[in-house]
Amino acid sequence: MPAFSLDPAQITWCEELGVLAAERLKPLADRGEPGRVNRPLVAALGDLGLLARLFDAGALDLCLLRESLARACTEAETALALQGLGTHPVAAFGTPAQRARWLPEATAGRAVAAFALSEPDAGSDAAALALDAVPDGRGGWHLHGEKRWISNAPEADFATVFARTTRGAGARGVTAFLVPADRPGLGGEHLDMLAPHALGTLTFDGVPVGPDDLLGQPDQGFRVAMNTLNLFRPSVGAFAVGMAQAALDAALAHTAARPAFGGVLADLQAVSHRVAEMATRTEAARLLVYAAAVAYDEGDPDVPRRSAMAKLLATETAQYVVDAAVQLHGALALQRGHLLEHLYREVRAPRIYEGATEVQRTIIAKELYAKARRSTKEPSDGERPVKEPSAGEQALKEPSDGEHPVKEPSAEEHPVKDPSTEEHPVKQPFAEVPHAEARHAVTKEPTAEELPLKEPTA
């Protein structure tokens, strides 16, 4: 487990991001229409160089970026994250022509991206997706079906779309396509969500795609999805940490000034202890997120477990901290327009998208048991040492006549003892019978590509 602390340059950068978010991005966010793509905000993220930073920096920088923005302006954070999620597959798997066409526009904030994985009946079990890619007989496909809870839909200028090209093959039969918004047969509508993010549906009525639209290889689309989600999953935790910190800041300011019972709220031990718990959990989640990001940047093979732990702890912690901050504020925090009313709606979704809390626990357990099996793998026959039978095993072995001929004892070997002088032996207590070792059937674990996934919905 790596030790971790930010260097002075990183701390300064985070502070500068907070100022930018509060002074330049928050006013644009406030003027946007709830539930719709805020193109001026996306363009401002491009002008500030923050979108380009998504593709030339590592996972730790992505986490610092998302945490800093979330602390000051969740709308700016969400716009940046959704743009990165939809564009990353093009940057990582696109052809030179695809990259030349879309990356400059996306990093400048002139083109808006979508990541289309989830479907009405395929959320956490994303390997069950059913958007059908029907061969057209000329080397291409026609897409039929629906995607739901899609970032920036239906307004996005292009989308990374995952479709089934081989039926009955599970995760191994999925292909990723880059689909521009002007393709015939492509439609969609907006969805009204708890947190008013730009989410919607995409409908495919024979949308044509060809070999030039492939992202990666046919039937290897889950590799594209996993590569993207493994990078962004720890940063969902960073988004949650940013919201938790904003709620903690508000709680500290309020409880230090709010008059109560002849003093202020902070004078009450119940209040101050609650704030201490909020701060401790937030810091623990932050460090776990940073550690997962560093592991990703260093190529640690344990990234799936670390990323899942980071997202799990950070999102659950943020829910606790925001709820506790609302409780400390009382009715004030329930008023429409209050920071905590806003955060209370925002904090719920990250526990679901990009792998729900339950999915993260499944991933963590799978990785732990897989590691345990590797460490206790039985040796091969050539490596297996010959085990000598124990004394008990020797005593239980039934000898053959040739091994143990019956011998009648002589009088000298077996004298008759006078029972009157026989000593009564001390009765020994019953020996403890050890329980038989439980045998557990080991079921086949899914591969990393078959892990259940959840498309982001924020």
C-alpha 176/C-alpha 74 separation (Å) is: 29
Cis-peptide, bond into residue 154, ω within 30° of zero:
yes
Selection from 3, 350, 313, 316 nearest residue 193 by Cα: 350
Beta strand pairing call for 174-180 and 214-215: antiparallel
If phi > 0 it is left, if psi is from -120 to 50 it is alpha, else beta; for residue 27 that is: alpha
Residue corresponding to tokens 């093979």: 301
**Quick check: 454 and 118 in contact, CB under 8 A?**
yes
**Quick check: 109 and 152 in contact, CB under 8 A?**
no
From the list 119, 354, 367, 455, the catalytic residue is 354
Catalytic annotation present for 354 = yes
Catalytic residues: 354
